[in-house]
């Protein structure tokens, strides 16, 4: 676990606090009309937990970081929205209940190694009812385009605090299956103005072939893929590379 997700959970909460209402509407529709209970592994500071709960779903978020769990609970208390957040390792957990659906946004699963992600999918299969949808947002790489190293930059503010965030891939080895990313958060205004929080993250690189092989060995089928880098999230052909792809997995009946 990196310091960004523990020592600087407050900055993470603000840095990723953009409006997710439209995306939450889309996720709600994709989960289907019979979905009433939702699991979000790796929920961070809980913005999707809150957003989905606002849409009438009973949501449980899991995160390994105690600081993130507390940040998510604070968010729920501030908003008055009812949902659950618990500390758990998404590679190995047992909740004693099953859910109608699940979501995992923003490339969260790329923090896991190949073997860890296989364990995660096994645990998810144990916690979803047959036929449930698991919506996973995960980049797939083929190493052929300049977008592989395209950084993301944005600014965001809340109350008196304003941040500038840069998240960039510094090095990627598609064949070896790893990448090095750097997050940089500059505090532009507020009580901590002038501080910079910078950290390196080593993450797994998934190619279309490796991802397809992992799914084939799991209890899930790939139903559809959507381009999450576009606002309208169109269907795209399975097996292509892309940023922020949404993968609609269905648990085998």
Give the pLDDT score at 150: 79
Statement to judge: residues 197 and 214 lie in one domain: no
Give the pLDDT score at 82: 98
pTM of the model: 0.95
Residue 1 has pLDDT above 70, yes or no: no
Question: Rounded to whole angstroms, how far apart are CA atoms 102 and 35?
Answer: 9
Question: Rounded to whole angstroms, how far apart are CA atoms 252 and 87?
Answer: 28
Q: In what order do the strands lie in the sheet with 152-158?
A: 152-158, 161-173, 178-189, 196-204
Statement to judge: residues 49 and 157 lie in one domain: no
The tokens describing 189, both together, are 């205004």
Q: What's the structural domain count of the chain?
A: 2
Residue 143 has pLDDT above 90, yes or no: no
Handedness of CA 107, 11, 61, 27 (dihedral sign): negative
pLDDT digits (tens, 9 = 90+) for 191-249: 999 999 999 999 999 999 999 999 999 999 999 999 999 999 999 999 999 999 999 99
Statement to judge: residues 30 and 131 lie in one domain: yes
Statement to judge: residues 174 and 247 lie in one domain: no
> Domain range holding 157?
146-204
Question: Rounded to whole angstroms, how far apart are CA atoms 42 and 90?
Answer: 7
Statement to judge: residues 128 and 154 lie in one domain: no
């Amino acid at each position: 676990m990196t310091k960004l997700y523990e020592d600087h959970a407050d900055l993470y909460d603000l840095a990723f606090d953009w409006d997710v209402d439209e995306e939450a509407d889309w996720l709600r529709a994709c989960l289907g009309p019979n979905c009433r209970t939702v699991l979000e592994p790796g929920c961070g500071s809980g913005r999707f937990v809150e957003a989905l709960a606002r849409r009438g779903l009973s949501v449980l978020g899991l995160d390994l970081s105690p600081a993130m769990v507390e940040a998510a609970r604070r968010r729920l208390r501030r908003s008055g929205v009812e949902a659950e957040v618990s500390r758990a390792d998404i590679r190995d957990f047992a909740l004693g209940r099953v859910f109608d659906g699940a979501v995992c946004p923003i490339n969260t699963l790329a923090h896991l190694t190949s073997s860890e992600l296989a364990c995660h999918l096994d645990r998810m299969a144990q916690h979803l009812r047959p036929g449930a949808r698991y919506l996973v947002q995960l980049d797939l790489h083929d190493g052929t385009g300049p977008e592989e190293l395209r950084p993301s930059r944005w600014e965001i503010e809340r109350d008196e605090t304003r941040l500038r965030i840069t998240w960039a891939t510094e090095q990627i080895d598609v064949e070896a299956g790893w990448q090095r990313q750097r997050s940089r958060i500059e505090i532009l205004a507020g009580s901590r103005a002038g501080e910079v929080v910078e950290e390196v993250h080593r993450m797994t690189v998934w190619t279309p072939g490796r991802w397809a092989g992992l799914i084939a060995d799991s209890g899930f089928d790939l139903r559809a893929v959507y381009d999450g880098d576009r606002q309208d999230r169109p269907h795209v052909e399975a097996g292509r590379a892309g940023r922020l792809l949404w993968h609609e997995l269905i648990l085998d009946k």
